[in-house]
Structures are given as structure tokens and as C-alpha cells.
Amino acid sequence: MPDPTLLSIVLAALAGVLAAVKRLERADWVLPLPWVDLALAVAFAVTAGAFDDPAWWVAVVAFALGLFGFGFLAGIAALTLIRLPDPELMAMTVVPLLVGFALHHFLRAANGKQLPFEAAERDSARSDLRWSLAARIAPLVPFAFVLGVPLPGGDLTDTAVRLLGAAVIALYLVAVDRIRVALLRPRRRILRAAELNNALVATVLAASPIGAEAVAWWGRAPQPMGWEWYRLVAVVFSVFVVLAVVIGNNMVRGPLLVVVLALGHLARLAVATGLVFTAAIALFHPDRDLLVPAVIGGLPALVIGWLSIRRGMVFRQLADAALLSTLTESKRAAVIDTWVTEKVLVAAPDLSLPDAVGALALRSLADERAQPPWLVRTDEALAVADALLDAVDRRVARDGITDDQVDRARLAAR
């Protein structure tokens, strides 16, 4: 396995520091788990390098520990690469830990209840501004990697193809951020943090010896290449779209739904893998014969990302509505006031959130768990809708927003 590059070590260290910081923010030192995490981190720092050629199960255990939230361990393991840049250490321990913790953090931010609630309780404009700036810078970073990592013997055509691969990744990041723009500031902030961390860890994976080895394996493999590869990409894209339509329109129920959901997750993993291959080949381990197939392999993620902006925004706004129903009146009023300032008192007002609250109220008539993991009653959802519209009316009257602007915003929300 090739040695890790300086760039991959720097990226891993950055991801490790972020993992440790996020773990520290959530640490409850009354419970034993943070102490266990810290003890394992210290033990790892002391014993790193003592074991040669770790078995495959070490990577499985490392991933599981990261998935359980062992951020201190992930951080120390990543920083250990600075003094011990061993490819086996990075591939079998550091990368699985970082991937597991990134998934843990994302699941808590996107599907959990406690993290969004705490973010609303400690809402911060400064923190939101920092992550907003990071989200704007992130799409530019792939181009810097192309310019900073040369392709030996490459010409202008090869550089153009690599820049095209960087553009695929950049446009995908832009699409993902478009989904977050309309959200309440607390959830927008934590989702930006979680998803940018996912992007950083995926970059570490692509830049690591794992990415280098995968590129070398693909270069040696007789299949799939050429049109066979393009057909495989088309099949994965088609399967993903079909499964998304089936799941999104509730076309299956019962045990069959479980099977379809599992296939949907596998298809999503295949699409994400294609994008990671694009990063590995176009940005970090360029191979002239694989550049075009790598760019094509990232297109399904790009197309799906842009096609799912509206649906993803609506789905996440339903979670915004559910979050508002759990807050105290004073905190809810503060969060809503921030929403009015950001989304109503602008040149193009966005009133899609009240519609999302109304949709949640309609759902809750049949099922109080219409938006897991929150338990929302119909009267709670209607109270949130009233609070949103009352706040809009007060600010519109005070700041002179015209009826024409509000009407156009309502039409856009639909």
C-alpha cells in the first residue's frame, strides 16, 4: 500500500481535530462514555505503531467505535499520523474511525431530536456565519487540489478533464447547500457542520492510501472500462431514481418496503462511491486512462443532487416545523423572529415554512409521529403556524413589506 501523502495527513488531522471538538461539545462528563473515549484515545497515542499489519477486523472495530461517537479517539488517531505516517495505520484505523464518527455526527444532526433542540437553545449568529462562509469556500477547494497535485506527463487536455471533475464535485456541494438555505438558523448551522464534515472525511478517504490503492486496482482491472462502465453508471442512476419514486410516493408497504429501503441505501452508497472515485482520480491520484470514466462516475450524484433540492428542502422544513413545536414560547419566538428577519424582510420573501407547518398539521391528524423522531399533535402544529404568521404580520406592518411581495412569496412557496 502506498505511503500517505502530506496532503492526506493534513486533511486527516483537520478532520480529527473537528471530530474531537464536536465530541467535546457533546461530552457529559457525569457519564462513563466520555471517559472511556478519552482513555482509549490516550492508550492509542501511547501504543500506536506497536502492532504491524493489522487485520481487517481492526477496521471494522474502528468504524464501530467511530459510529458510537468516540470522537476523542478519532481525533488522537488522526493526529498520530503526523509523527507516524504509516499507510496501514491510516487505512485500517484512522480512516474507519473518521468515517464512523462523521456518520454518527450526521445521523444525530439530520435524524436526531436532541442535537437540533440544543442548537436552538444555544442559537448563535456568529457560528452560523462561520459555517456559511465554510459552505461558500468548499466548492472552490477541489479546483485548488487540481492545481496543487500535478499529473506527471499530463497535458492541457488532462488538466481540463481534471477541472471538469472538480466542477462536478463543486456543483454537487452547491446543490447540497441549496437544500439548507431555507432552514431555520439552528438546524441550518448543525446540518452544515455535519455535511461539511462528511465532505471533509470523504476527501480524506479519496486522498488516503485507500483511494490510491482503489485507483491502482481500477487501472489494473480489465473491467469495467469504456462503454461497459458508462452503462453501469446509467444502471445505478436509473435504479436510484426508480427506488426514489417508489419510496417517495408510498407505492410499497409492509415487508417489501424494508427491502426497497435497503436497496435504496445501497443505491445511494453506489452513487456516493462514484463521487469519491471522481475525487480520488481527478484530484489526488490522477491517472490519464481513468480521468474521463471518473468524471462520468460522479455525474449521477450531481444530477440527483440538483433534482432533489426542492423535495429535500420540503422534507427538512417539516423537521423545522416539528422542532418549533418542542421549544418553549420564549425560545420559539426568538427563533421565529430570526427566521422573519432572514426570510421575510428581504427582496424576495420566502414563506415556505408556514406551508410546511400546515402540511405537518395535516399529517398529524392521522399520525402523531408524522415527522420522526418528534411527537407532534395537531394543535401544537397549528399553534406554530399561528406564531409564524403572527410574527410575519407584525414585521410586515412595521417594516412596510408590500402585499405584492408577500403574494409572490406565497406563490413561490407552493
Q: What is the pTM of this model?
A: 0.88
Span 351-375, average pLDDT: 76
Instruction: Write phi, then psi, for 371 (nearest 5 degrees).
Output: -135, 80
Size of the chain, expressed as the number of residues it contains: 414
pLDDT tens readout for residues 42-86 = 998 888 776 667 778 888 999 999 999 999 999 999 999 998 888
Higher pLDDT, 369 or 183: 183
**Which of 176, 148, 157 is closest to 283 using CA atoms?**
148
Residue 199 has pLDDT above 80, yes or no: yes
Higher pLDDT, 371 or 140: 140
In this prediction, residue 370 carries a pLDDT of: 62
Higher pLDDT, 412 or 91: 91
pLDDT tens readout for residues 295-347 = 999 999 999 999 988 888 888 888 888 888 888 888 888 888 888 888 877 76
SS3 of residue 371 by DSSP: strand
**CB-CB contact of 173 with 179 (8 Å):** no
In this prediction, residue 399 carries a pLDDT of: 63
Which ranges constitute the DSSP H helices of 221-307? 226-248, 255-279, 291-307
Phi and psi based region of residue 80 (left: phi greater than 0; alpha: psi -120 to 50; beta: remaining): alpha
> What amino acid is encoded at 193 in this protein?
A
Q: Which range has highest mean pLDDT (22-26, 67-71, 110-114)?
A: 67-71
Residue 14 has pLDDT above 90, yes or no: yes
What confidence category does residue 413 fall into, taking pLDDT thresholds of 50, 70 and 90? very low
Residue 154 has pLDDT above 90, yes or no: no
Instruction: Write phi, then psi, for 336 (nearest 5 degrees).
Output: -65, -40
Span 404-411, average pLDDT: 54
Distance of alpha carbon 390 from its chain centroid, rounded? 34
User: How many percent of the chain have pLDDT more than 90?
Assistant: 40
> Mean pLDDT of all residues in the chain?
86
Residue tagged 462536478 (cell numbers): 168
Residue 137 burial (10 A CB sphere; 0-12, 13-18, 19+)? exposed
Please provide the DSSP assignment of 161-214 as one string. Answer: HHHHHHHHHHHHHHHHHHHHTTS-HHHHHHHHHHHHHHHHHHHHHHHSHHHHHH
In this prediction, residue 403 carries a pLDDT of: 57
SS3 of residue 382 by DSSP: helix
What confidence category does residue 102 fall into, taking pLDDT thresholds of 50, 70 and 90? very high
- Of 176-190, 225-239, 246-260, minimum mean pLDDT range: 246-260
What confidence category does residue 406 fall into, taking pLDDT thresholds of 50, 70 and 90? low
Residue 286 has pLDDT above 70, yes or no: yes
**Distance from C-alpha of 396 to C-alpha of 313, rounded to nearest angstrom:** 25
**CB-CB contact of 191 with 110 (8 Å):** yes
What confidence category does residue 113 fall into, taking pLDDT thresholds of 50, 70 and 90? confident
**CB-CB contact of 320 with 330 (8 Å):** no
Residue 364 has pLDDT above 80, yes or no: no
Span 134-139, average pLDDT: 94
In this prediction, residue 164 carries a pLDDT of: 95
**Which of 24, 210, 201 is closest to 106 using CA atoms?**
201
SS3 of residue 69 by DSSP: coil
pLDDT tens readout for residues 242-257 = 988 888 777 877 788 8
What confidence category does residue 275 fall into, taking pLDDT thresholds of 50, 70 and 90? very high
Residue 170 has pLDDT above 80, yes or no: yes
Residue 366 has pLDDT above 90, yes or no: no
In this prediction, residue 159 carries a pLDDT of: 92
Higher pLDDT, 387 or 347: 387
